[in-house]
Amino acid sequence: MEALEVMNQHRTYRNFDETYQLSEEELQKILQASRQAPSWMNGQMYSIIVVKDRGIREQLVAMNPGNPHVLNSSVFLVFVADLKRTQKVAEHYGVEYRINEGFDPVITAVTDAALALENAVIATEALGLGSVVVGTIRKDIAEVSELLKLPDYVLPVAGLSIGKPNVEMQVKPRLPEQAVIHYDTYKDYDYSLIETYDETMEKFAEARETKLWSKKFADYFSNTPNKKVDEFLKINKFFGVKFDTDR
């Protein structure tokens, strides 16, 4: 399909034909498209773990039973922010590796991983297949990291279940343009735009949504953020004694 059509028709699929096997050719097309994603300074500060092993996928679902598609899809990819490669480079040249002194290296690597992930989503849909991004792998981030044998300086960002959908989904409405797009400078907008979107999503009536869009995120961000990620970043050398993450 044309690239613009693919992107504008994006929808998330969570139900896959368990008998469908992604061909090696299809998988390589998705991975190649993912590797061609833009990255800062061509640093490519990410890696992709292709999880085919059923035992590993069963363990991932056991950690997060709400995402059975991790097991039922044809393949599960895990996109990780990877600063191990540049650590090897620093060791090779005998220079300090000072990524633990600020947030920017982590933001750079996470962005690179996210761009690669999006390219994989687009490539998947261009092949007539479906996918769902799985951010909840960070819920048990240390356990997932151990299961996938990730070294230090490597951070799981999100997973991607890929397969042949067996339940059709509709294109989900997005926030009003005025609430998202700004020209030249950021401009405030009236809260009524969010209320309008709440109404739109109520009419859309996705079965898995049990709250207003706004209420869902009000509740989510009223809770303490996932501290497991903070601890993981410290233990795996993203942040050290030189940088106080509690400031």
Beta-bridge mates of residue 133: 160
The whole-model pTM stands at 0.93
Number of domains in the chain: 1
Q: Domain for residue 113, yes or no?
A: yes
Report whether 133 contacts 121 (CB < 8 A).
Answer: yes
Q: What is the DSSP string of 47-115?
A: EEEEE--HHHHHHHHHH-TT-THHHHSSEEEEEEEE-HHHHHHHHHHT----GGG-SHHHHHHHHHHHH
Beta-bridge mates of residue 162: 75, 131
Integer angstrom CA distances of residue 75 from 23, 36, 72: 10, 20, 8
Task: Give the integer Cα–Cα distance in Å for 28 and 202.
Answer: 39
Task: Give the integer Cα–Cα distance in Å for 12 and 32.
Answer: 22
Q: Domain for residue 209, yes or no?
A: no
Give the model confidence (pLDDT) of 224-239 as tens digits.
Answer: 999 999 999 999 989 8
DSSP structure class, residue 46: E
Q: Domain for residue 187, yes or no?
A: no
Domain range holding 110? 3-171
How long, in residues, is the chain? Answer: 247
Give the model confidence (pLDDT) of 73-87 as tens digits.
Answer: 999 999 999 999 999
pLDDT (0 to 100) of residue 241? 47
Q: Domain for residue 228, yes or no?
A: no
Report whether 240 contacts 105 (CB < 8 A).
Answer: no
pLDDT (0 to 100) of residue 247? 45
**CATH code for the domain in which residue 60 is found:** 3.40.109.10
154's enclosing H/E stretch is strand 154-163
pLDDT (0 to 100) of residue 239? 80
Report whether 243 contacts 100 (CB < 8 A).
Answer: yes
Q: Domain for residue 239, yes or no?
A: no
Helices (H) and strands (E) in the chain, counts: 10, 4
Q: Domain for residue 65, yes or no?
A: yes
pLDDT (0 to 100) of residue 243? 45
Phi, psi of 156 (to 5 degrees): -60, 130
Q: Domain for residue 190, yes or no?
A: no
Q: Domain for residue 144, yes or no?
A: yes
**Confidence bin at 240 (pLDDT 50/70/90):** low
Beta-bridge mates of residue 165: 16
Give the model confidence (pLDDT) of 3-37 as tens digits.
Answer: 999 999 999 999 999 999 999 999 999 999 999 99
